[in-house]
Amino acid sequence: MIYLNQVGYLPDSGKIAILTHRADSFVLRDKLTGKIVYEGIPQLFGGTAPDAASGDIAYHADFADFCAEGEYMLCAGEFTSEPFAIRKAVYHRLKLDLIRSYYFQRCGRALDTAHAGKFAHACCHTAPAILPNQPGTHLDLSGGWHDAGDYGRYVTPAATALAHLLYAYELFPDRFADFLNLPESGNGMPDFLNECRYELTWLLKMQRADGGVFHKVSTWHHAPFVMPEYDTAPLFAYSVSTPATADFAAVAALAARIYAAYDAGFAGTLKQAALLSWDFLQDHPEFIAFQNPAGSGTGEYGDCSDRDERFWAAAELFSLTGEQRFLHAFLSLYEENFSKTALGYASTGGFGALSFFMNPVFAELSGTAADCMEHREDMAADPKTHALPQRFPEHAKQMLSLREHIRTDFIAAADTCLALLTKNAYPVAMSPDDYHWGSNMTLMNNGILLILGFLFTGKTDYREAALAQLHYLLGRNALGYSYVTGYGKRSCRFPHMRTVFADGIDEPVPGFVAGGPNLHPSDEPGRYHIPAGTPPMKCYLDHYACFSLNEVTIYWNSPAVFVTAFFDDIL
């Protein structure tokens, strides 16, 4: 068999296909004419021992030096690959559909045919929500995005998705100027920010008057596999948690900075909401965890600490306001023991560290947010050379030192990813243990870390390694699946997603990222059909009932948006 990126390759990038059979040579053929345009010799990877993650003995067919744009197929022995492209804008449509997926997850409004085409459906989930222990209380918590294949809406994964999206926007704003055919299109705001605003508006509703934030709103149990408008069970506003409150404060502050250029009123509302939630956190220094009430069965999104979430909130509020109290909180929390490079819903330390590194006080010295990522010798020089001592006389040297520590930590994380990639027959920055529930989130988050490594250093090894993550997602893996719906001849078609199951349309909505291989599947089809001892990369089924293998979520799509936007440099 031959496995490669079924969408395609950038002309100036590495290009490797994986063969699981021995062949003396390989050729590229023009898809239309059948003409041979390139020939090469496959190379055995790593000797004759099977690869740990895939169980395969693999041969690499390297055609990096072939750069002509076009449509091709790779042939070796009796096998021919799926068709693929080589093109500068090869990921542009993919990026648009990854972003457009959020429109198709909108809750609380109808999706009309003008914007959703054949995937249109009626309005859903507009009934008031009640508190489980206060049945007489009715709250308008409508709106936002359905979190995943179910119809729940959860604050911590929502904040994580928005973090990936909005930090990408800050770093590469030119990649997000596309028309997305949204109901809000043409209102003077980039459509990308229009879509993010839809989720932010819902998040504002999740905040109580005292600043605490409800952890989630959902029905008591997951809906059956029906369209969202037929899910009419009562909605519940579940209890406040400090991780949800801190995540809300962080992402509201982040958004307030970004939206100020387009809507000062909305930005002001976000700022005041972020400050109110910070006050709640100061009044409640204890960890307020969340657990589903007895008998409830929707997503829990639990956590064992809120220190990393508070860290992120302090960083973003410092970026927004420049106030000393947030700097002090950030510096204190930085000393605590949690990852400063993690980018997940339960581990947000990387967002806090990235926020501090990109703080406007540093950007003022180095230009744009993207410029701020580059290592600049003058940034590590004596702070007398710039305005930092005047604004923060007690902390200027500490801030510069800490900024350099953060840069070093992210580069070290990228180096770890790079080392993993070189050990795998399918070049990917994943260990065998990384194939867990939502492994494609880990895959794409590692892609972000590698992109940051490139931005910090300019070393192209990081860029190529980040691109290799995308190659895996789009088919260069041990099953040959593209894990993005609608992309590739052999792509995920039956995701665990209620709308896709119930809409009566043969193909799924394009642009959704499936969870991917899971060494320990917890759904019945996965446990039954995947034999014990199956190599981690092959522990996957494209089946609607496989929630631990084939579900979609807003925070699995979001790092894929970050990565594809970075590589969609077509200007």
Q: In the chain, where are the structural domains located?
A: 109-305
109-305 classified as CATH 3.40.250.10: no
Q: Which two tokens stand for residue 562?
A: 């970050």
CB atoms within 10 A of CB 174: 11
Enter the tokens of residue 206.
Answer: 């999740």
Integer Cα distance of 69 and 273 in angstroms = 49
Amino acid in position 530: I
Within 284-377, residue ranges assigned H as helices are 307-321, 324-334, 349-357, 360-366, 369-373
Would you call 551 a catalytic residue per the annotation?
Answer: yes
Residue 218 near residue 298, CB atoms below 8 Å: yes
Query: Residues with Cβ < 8 Å from 171, sequence gap 6 or more?
Result: 369, 370, 373, 455, 566
Catalytic residue (one of 51, 56, 97, 150): 150
Q: Which single residue is written with the structure tokens 């260069």?
A: 476
- Burial string for 381-400 (b: 16+ CB within 10 Å, else e) reads eebeebebeeebeebbeebb
- Residue 221 neighbours by CB under 8 Å, 6+ apart: 233, 296, 297, 298
Q: Which tokens in the block code for residue 306?
A: 């809120």
505: helix, strand or coil:
coil
Active site residue 336: no
The predicted pLDDT at position 208 comes to 97
State the Cα–Cα distance between residues 245 and 248, nearest whole angstrom.
Answer: 5
Single out the residue of 68, 85, 77, 78 nearest to residue 31, CA to CA. Answer: 85
Helical pair 242-259 and 191-205, crossing angle rounded to 10 deg: 140
Residues 493 and 543 sit within 8 Å (Cβ to Cβ)? no
| Residue 124 near residue 151, CB atoms below 8 Å | yes
Q: Are 432 and 420 in contact (CB under 8 A)?
A: no
Query: Phi and psi of 257, rounded to 5°?
Result: -65, -45
Beta bridge pairs of residue 2? 19
User: Nearest to residue 340, comparing CAs of 308, 306, 307?
Assistant: 308
- Total Cβ atoms within 10 A of residue 67: 13
335 and 296 Cβ atoms separated by less than 8 Å: no
**H-helix or E-strand spanning residue 285:** none
State residue 571's pLDDT score: 46
* 255/314 Cα distance (integer angstroms): 14
The answer to whether 312 and 247 have CB atoms below 8 angstroms apart is: yes
**String of DSSP letters for 188-253:** SS-HHHHHHHHHHHHHHHTB-TTS-BBSEEE-SS---SS-GGG--SPEEEPPB-HHHHHHHHHHHH
In 127-198 the beta strands, taken as DSSP E runs, fall at 129-131, 134-139, 153-154
Tokens representing residue 115 in the block: 């914007």
CA distance 267 to 261: 9
Eight-state DSSP code of residue 509: P
Task: Give the pLDDT of residue 361.
Answer: 85
89 burial via Cβ count (<10 Å: 0-12, 13-18, 19+): middle
Q: Are 563 and 507 in contact (CB under 8 A)?
A: no
Q: If DSSP states are collapsed to H, E and C, what string results for 41-106?
A: CCEECCCCCCCCCCCCCCEEEECCCCCCCEEEEEEECCEECCCEEECCCCCHHHHHHHHHHHHHCE
Q: Which residues pair with 216 in a beta bridge?
A: 154
What is d(CA 381, CA 378) in angstroms, rounded to the nearest whole number? 5
Q: How far apart are the first and last CA of the chain?
A: 36
CB-based burial label for 543 (10 Å; 0-12, 13-18, 19+): middle
In the DSSP assignment, the letter for residue 490 is: S
User: What does the pLDDT profile of the chain (571 residues) look like in tens digits?
Assistant: 999 999 999 999 999 999 999 999 999 999 999 999 999 999 999 888 999 999 999 999 999 999 999 999 999 999 999 999 999 999 999 999 999 999 999 999 999 999 999 999 999 999 999 998 887 889 999 999 999 999 999 999 999 999 999 999 999 999 999 999 999 999 999 999 999 999 999 999 999 999 999 999 999 999 999 999 999 999 999 999 999 999 999 999 999 999 999 999 999 999 999 999 999 999 999 999 999 999 999 999 999 999 999 999 999 999 999 999 999 999 999 999 999 999 999 999 999 999 999 998 886 555 556 666 664 444 444 444 466 777 888 888 999 999 999 999 999 999 999 999 999 999 999 999 999 999 999 999 999 999 999 999 999 999 999 999 999 999 999 999 999 999 999 999 999 999 999 999 999 999 999 999 999 999 999 999 999 999 999 999 999 999 999 999 999 999 999 999 999 985 4
